Chains A and B, each alone.
Chain A
Amino acid sequence: MAIIPGAGGNIANLVAYNEAKRASKHPEKFGTGLPEGLVATESSNNVTVAGSMVPLLTLGIPGAPPDAVILGVLMLHGLRPGIELFTVSGQLTYGFILSMALSAMVMVPVGLLGGRLIYKVIFKTPYYFLVPTIALATILGTYGVRNSHTDVVLMLVLGTLGHLLKQLGVAPAPVVLGLILGNIAEMGYVQTIFSGQASQYPFLKLFESGLSQILIAMTVLSAAWPYLLALRQRIQARKASPTEDRHE
């Protein structure tokens, strides 16, 4: 997921969480601090760091906010992502890649030694201290991105709305995915509509490419999959029921 240009780093942990939930024997317990969910999101979060460097160093497309910071530092030092980064400035770039491998290895002892300690500290912290601390971290994180107080207010309003929707059975993860992928979807859609202005129906341009046809088919199939499964089960149950009647 991380090597997908533009979005990989941001969505990988959400996708990992969703897949862990789908594969779990207790999906209803997700969201309550179940280790499976935490391991899925946190391990994918670490894995994406290296993967997201592929589109960043080759195409100059950051997949997550930290990648954008690295891109900024590279540009500041006159290093342009692309072939030159691996040829002219190869020594620096390969050193950077090796340092990432080293940091991944260091993560093992840090995780093994520090993980237990951090777990114990968090577990023993009373919830009435944890709640405002988490709120403080979210406020600082939101404010730190653009130094905007309005962003913090917006975060609180959307957080409240997210809580209400969660109570109504609307999962927050797809909403967050929509927020992240919205920019990419908008750019692609508007470009396609503009390029199809010459025809009477510009939106038909969306279905012209073979790749987009495959993607649309896969999207429709994945959306319809639960209903197809339910239909199949119903047909199988109907086939089985006359036999049972005969036995009775």
Chain B
Amino acid sequence: MNREINTDIASGLIGLLLTGLFYFGLEDVLWMSIIFPEVAGAIMDLLSIILIIKGLVKPSRSPVFKEGSNLRWIVTGVLFFCWVMVMPVLGFFVSTVLFMSLIVIYLARARTSVTIKKILVWVPIVIAEVTFFYVIFTRFLYIPLPEGMFF
């Protein structure tokens, strides 16, 4: 599928949308603290408008999302979000082993055939890797990682 859009207009609109969101967030901020965000927002607005005008005056279309599979990107992204969201519930160790294994299995499907035998090799590797990081952080660096219903 050929995905070509006017990236100048798209970037300008995203810039305006972001500054709009920031302006809403500034409603309850004191006047002394608001000085810099207002200026930064105004500069971002100005640059976004310049980009939109450039996109309208000299329209050019560029290919976007042309590399790799978009579906794979979205599914992996959703798995990352789920991983982080369940971390306080299941705890760092359990959630990381679970979701890292799921991501490895999902991504491996694009390159190789996934069999039970392979999964039985991959999962212990993931457990060893997560255990290594877990021990380093909790025992040596004394950084407590999120705990959940198990530990």
Chain A positions near chain B (C-beta within 8 angstroms): 126-129, 131-133, 135-136, 139-140, 143-144, 147, 149, 152-153, 156, 160, 163-165, 167-170, 182, 185-186, 189-190, 193
A186 and B88 within 8 A (CB): no
A167 and B84 within 8 A (CB): no
List, in ascending order, chain B residues with CB within 8 A of A193's CB: 35
Q: How far is the CB of A170 from chain B (nearest CB, A)?
A: 6
B135: Cβ under 8 A from any A Cβ: no
**CB contact under 8 A between A156 and B11, given known A128-B111, A131-B107:** no
**CB contact under 8 A between A169 and B32, given known A128-B108, A147-B144:** no
Please classify the interface of chain A as helix (H, G, I), strand (E, B), loop, or mixed, using the class held by over half of its residues. helix
Contact count A vs B, C-beta below 8 Å? 81
Please classify the interface of chain B as helix (H, G, I), strand (E, B), loop, or mixed, using the class held by over half of its residues. helix
A132 and B104 within 8 A (CB): yes
List, in ascending order, chain B residues with CB within 8 A of A167's CB: 64-65
* Total number of B residues with any Cβ neighbor in A under 8 Å: 43
Q: How far is the CB of B68 from chain A (nearest CB, A)?
A: 11
> Taking each of A128, A185, A186, which has the highest tally of chain B beta carbons within 10 Å of its own beta carbon?
A128
Q: Mark B139-151, 1 if CB is under 8 A from A, else 0.
A: 0010111100000
B14 and A149 within 8 A (CB): no
The B1-19 residues at the A interface (CB cut-off 8 A) are: 7, 10-11, 14
B23: Cβ under 8 A from any A Cβ: no
A127 and B130 within 8 A (CB): no
**CB contact under 8 A between A127 and B107, given known A135-B80, A156-B81, A167-B65:** yes
A189 and B104 within 8 A (CB): no
A147 and B103 within 8 A (CB): no
Expressed in whole angstroms, the Cα–Cα distance for A164 and B7 within the complex equals 11
A190 and B130 within 8 A (CB): no
Q: How far is the CB of A143 from chain B (nearest CB, A)?
A: 7
Identify 15 residue pairs between A and B in the complex whose beta-carbon atoms are under 8 Å apart, listed by A's number: A128-B103, A128-B110, A128-B111, A129-B122, A132-B103, A136-B96, A136-B100, A143-B143, A149-B84, A153-B84, A169-B11, A189-B39, A190-B35, A190-B36, A193-B35
**CB contact under 8 A between A129 and B96, given known A167-B64, A170-B11:** no
B111 and A147 within 8 A (CB): no
The B29-82 residues at the A interface (CB cut-off 8 A) are: 32, 35-36, 39-40, 62, 64-65, 73, 76-77, 80-81
B11 and A149 within 8 A (CB): no
B127: Cβ under 8 A from any A Cβ: no
List, in ascending order, chain A residues with CB within 8 A of B22's CB: none
Expressed in whole angstroms, the Cα–Cα distance for A153 and B85 within the complex equals 8
B144 and A128 within 8 A (CB): no
For A140, give its contact among B14, B32, B122, B133 (CB under 8 Å): B133
Expressed in whole angstroms, the Cα–Cα distance for A185 and B40 within the complex equals 10
B7 and A169 within 8 A (CB): yes
List, in ascending order, chain A residues with CB within 8 A of B88's CB: 149
A147 and B143 within 8 A (CB): yes
A168 and B10 within 8 A (CB): yes
Q: How far is the CB of A156 from chain B (nearest CB, A)?
A: 6
List, in ascending order, chain B residues with CB within 8 A of A127's CB: 107, 111
Nearest CB in chain A to that of B37: its residue: A186
For A156, give its contact among B80, B103, B110, B129 (CB under 8 Å): B80
Expressed in whole angstroms, the Cα–Cα distance for A133 and B7 within the complex equals 32
List, in ascending order, chain A residues with CB within 8 A of B145's CB: 140, 143
Nearest CB in chain A to that of B39: its residue: A189
